[in-house]
Amino acid sequence: MSNHIYFTEEHNEFRKIFRDFLHREVVPYIEKWEKTGEIERFIWEKFGEMGYFGLNQLEEYGGLNLDLFYTVIFLEELQRINSGGFAAAMWAHSYLNMSHLKAEASHEIKQKYLTPSIEGKKIGCLCITEPFGGSDVAGMRTTAVKQGNTYVINGSKTFITNGMYSDYLIVAAKTNPDDRHKGISMFVIDRNTKGVTSTKLNKLGWKASDTAEIAFDNVTIPIENLLGEEGKGFSYIMQHFALERLVMGVNAHARAEFAVEYAIQYMSERESFGQTINKFQVLRHKIAEMASKVDMCKEYNYSIAKRLNDGEYVVKEASMSKLLSTKMADEIIYDALQLLGGYGYMEDYPIARMYRDSRIGPIGGGTSEILKEIIAKIIIDGKKYNKQVDI
Ligand SMILES: Cc1cc2nc3c(=O)[nH]c(=O)nc-3n(C[C@H](O)[C@H](O)[C@H](O)COP(=O)(O)OP(=O)(O)OC[C@H]3O[C@@H](n4cnc5c(N)ncnc54)[C@H](O)[C@@H]3O)c2cc1C
C-alpha cells in the first residue's frame, strides 16, 4: 500500500499510469535491448511525449516542475520492470546530465539542449570519471584550454552511461590544471564535434545500457558551451551528488523490494517435502528479515526525499542513503536468489539479472568507501557542505 505521508492521490494515479505505460511500451522490448545493448530511439521520444523526462524540470523549458515524489515513483517503477540497464539509461539522462543543464546552463544553452532533452529528442550523458581514476574527481586530467572564442578539449573519460548513443556530452575538464578542486569547469559538447570518439564497453550487468570510453582530441567548442562559471565545476558536481545519490538509494530499495515480492510469490508456489516452501520457518524468518531491511531503507529514503524537496541540502543523508541501500539491495538479491534454489540461477527467472545489475550500486556515482569518507568528515571532523546551486 502506498505511504500516505508522502504520496497523494495524484501521486498514486501517476504511479498507475506510468506502470501501465512501462508494461505496454517498454516491457515487450526489454529482452531485445538487453541483447543488443542499444535502446531504440522511439522509446526516448515516447518518454518525452509523456513528460517523463521533465518531472522535476523547469516549466519554461518544457518541464513539469513537480515535487520530488514523482521522481521517486519514476525511479521505483523503472526498477520493477527489471532491466537495471534500461532504468539507468533513463534516470541518468534525467538526473545526471540534465541536472547540470537545469542548474548551470545559460538560457540559450537550455533552449538548445535542455528542451530537446525533456522532449526525448536529444539524449545526454555526464562525463566525469577518467581511466586514471574516478574516485579522485579533483585529480582528473582532461583539459580545456581557452583560445579566442573557443575552448579546446583534450583527454578521455570512461564508464560513461549513455556514452555511446547520446547526442551531447556534459564534460568536466580542467581549465586550470595546476589547481585541483578550483581548476575544474563544466562544458556541453555536441556528439558530432570533430575529435570526439567513443568505444563501447562490455559489462557484467546493465546490459541494455550503453557504457563507453570517450576520447577528446583537440575538440573545439564555442565559449558559450561553458556551463556556469569557470573553476566552479567541482562544486557543481558535488552539489548534484546529493540528488544523484538519493536517486541511487531509491533505486536500491525499489529493486530489493521487487526481489522480496518475487521471492514471496515463488515460495507460495514451489513445493518441497510435500508442502510449499513458504511453510518452512527458516525461510519465513529470512523473508521477515529481508522485508524489514527494505522497509527501513525505504522509509529513510522517503524522509530524505522530503527534506531535499523542501530545499534542505542533505549531502550527509544522501550519502548514507546510497551507502546502506545499495549494500542492502545486494544482500537481499543474493538471498532472494537462494530462496529460488536452482531456478534463481536461471536467466528465465528475474533474479539472475537483478543479481548482476545490482552489483554496480556500491560502485557507480561514488563508491561506498568514498561515501564513508564524506560521512566521516561530516560527523567526525565537523566539515560543513553548503548549498550553492538550486538542485
Ligand atoms: C556501469 C557504470 C556506469 C557508470 N556511469 C558513469 C557515468 O555516467 N558518468 C561518470 O562520470 N562515471 C560513471 N561511472 C564511473 C563510476 O562513478 C566510477 O567507477 C566510480 O566513481 C569509481 O571510480 P573508479 O572506477 O575509477 O575506481 P577507483 O577510484 O580507481 O577506486 C578503486 C577502489 O579504490 C577505492 N578507493 C579509491 N580512493 C579511495 C580512498 N580515498 N579511500 C578508500 N578507498 C578508496 C574505491 O572505493 C574502489 O574500491 C560508471 C561506472 C560503471 C561501472
E strands, the chain, where? 124-127, 143-147, 150-161, 168-174, 184-190, 196-200, 211-222, 226-227, 271-272, 275-276
Ligand 1: which residues within 6 Å by Cβ? 92, 96, 125-129, 133-135, 159-161, 203, 206, 211, 360, 363-367, 369-370, 373
- Give pTM, 2 decimals: 0.97
Q: Which atom of ligand 1 is nearest to the CA of 373?
A: 42
Residues (pLDDT < 50) of the chain are: none
Round to whole Å and give the CA distance between 245 and 249: 6
pLDDT for the residue 3: 81
Q: Which uninterrupted H or E stretch holds 309?
A: helix 281-309
Residue 220, CB half-sphere, CA atoms under 13 Å: how many?
A: 4
d(CA 368, CA 362): 5
| pLDDT for position 367 | 97
Distance CA 373, CA 315 (A): 12
Q: Which three cell numbers stand for residue 107?
A: 538560457
Q: Which of 367, 372, 373 should be mutated for ligand 1, with most atoms under 8 A from CB?
A: 367
